[in-house]
Structure 1
Amino acid sequence: MGDQAESTLISSNNHQVFRVVGLSLRLAAIPLCAASLWVMATNKQANESYGKVEFSDLPGLRYMVCISAISLGYSVVSILFACLGCVNNDWFFFISDQVVAYLMVTSGSAVAEVLYLAREGDRKASWSEACSYYGRFCDRTKVSLALHLAALLCFIALFLVSSYTVFSKFEAPSVSDSSKGVGE
């Protein structure tokens, strides 16, 4: 077998392996996004002294619920597109996987800030910590954030897989011979 035919066979096998890895990561992201969404969307706690708190009371938590829903929907649709061959464009997945990963980073950061303020408070703004009064609410928020970050890791890995898939189709730039002059 010639070098070019062998190279084509290896490239085809690599593409299939990365396709399976990509589909597996998309499948893994679905229950993580769904669990994060469910835990946060059902998160509420009442306190006799201070009243009731729900996820919808805090914009950062609402944002994460929206992004978890978008990530979940994207995962399902991208699996369907990949399996049905509706979108046979690696660039689509490359860009979409990045966008979803970036959105998940921003929503995770927003929730981390809310959790930090709930645990530590902010003396300059005269905010006291709230987790001692709403412990179950804070604990469920932590669980939801952990699930969200696990889904984010799936999307980061997906981004790397889609990057490899897109850029493996291009040849590396050739190294010029530095012993020749520029004008030669």
Structure 2
Amino acid sequence: MGDRPAESTLVSSNDHRVFRALGLSLRLAAIPLCAASLWVMATDEQANESYGKVEFSNLPGLRYMVCVGAVSLGYSVVSILFACLRCVNNDWFFFISDQVVAYLMVTSGSAVAEVLYLAHEGDRQTSWSEACSYYGRFCDRTKVSLALHSAALLCFIALFLVSSYTLFSKFEAPSVSDSSKGVGE
């Protein structure tokens, strides 16, 4: 029975190595996804002879996604440096910042999804007509950027789960006190 804690510590140590490697892999995978989404959206524009030119900068939801994409890309690079250098208390830093980045990505992805919905369907109550039939390439590139953004979001959701496990596995579960025995006796 004395060997049990040593085995548990060994498994826990191996788990931590596996999860740290998984976290690093996810951070590396997020970089090209964030960069590609950012580039596709930032270069998205189309001109139409009848209606003029539309660019991502004309729509606040798309501008917001570009800003969040830049933050996510920067964070991915910085977090890899922090993970490799171990210069801060990585576990708490990653636990909090992975959540913040994931939440930002959810909000920006939702904003773009709304813009795309209105561009495809329009809004009859406010007399907005759909625009994707006139700006098809613009809408298609926006969809591609949103898909890449969503893939990066999945990386950050997985990173949040990994950072949660890495942080909270260091703590023991709270013990259940046996106070109920004293009450009934």
> TM over 0.5, yes or no?
yes
Q: Which residue of 1 aligns with 2:181?
A: 180
Task: Output one character per residue of 1:66-122: Cα deviation in whole Å (capped at 9) or x when no partner.
Answer: 000000000000000110111233011000000000000000000000000000000
Asked whether the 8 Å contact 1:82–1:88 carries over to 2, the reply is no
User: In 2, Cα distance between the equivalents of 1:145 and 1:43?
Assistant: 12
Task: Output one character per residue of 1:121-154: Cα deviation in whole Å (capped at 9) or x when no partner.
Answer: 0011110000000000000000000000000000
Q: How far off is 1:15 after superposition? A: 0.5
- Structure richer in helix, relative to its length: 2
The equivalences for 1:2-17 within 5 A come to 2-4=2-4, 5-17=6-18
**SS of residue matched to 1:179:** helix
Q: How far off is 1:8 after superposition? A: 1.3
Unaligned 5+ runs, structure 2: none
TM-score (norm 2): 0.95
Q: How far off is 1:51 after superposition? A: 0.3
Asked whether the 8 Å contact 1:43–1:54 carries over to 2, the reply is yes
Asked whether the 8 Å contact 1:28–1:154 carries over to 2, the reply is yes
User: In 1, Cα distance between the equivalents of 2:64 and 2:70?
Assistant: 10
> What's the Cα RMSD here?
1.6
Q: How far off is 1:2 after superposition? A: 4.1
Q: How far off is 1:172 after superposition? A: 1.3
The equivalences for 1:42-57 within 5 A come to 42-57=43-58
Q: Which residue of 1 aligns with 2:60?
A: 59
**SS of residue matched to 1:45:** strand
Q: Which residue of 1 aligns with 2:119?
A: 118
Asked whether the 8 Å contact 1:37–1:68 carries over to 2, the reply is yes
Question: Identity, % of aligned pairs?
Answer: 90
User: In 2, Cα distance between the equivalents of 1:89 and 1:68?
Assistant: 22
Asked whether the 8 Å contact 1:45–1:53 carries over to 2, the reply is yes
User: In 2, Cα distance between the equivalents of 1:183 and 1:130?
Assistant: 72
- How many residue pairs match? The answer is 184
**SS of residue matched to 1:127:** coil
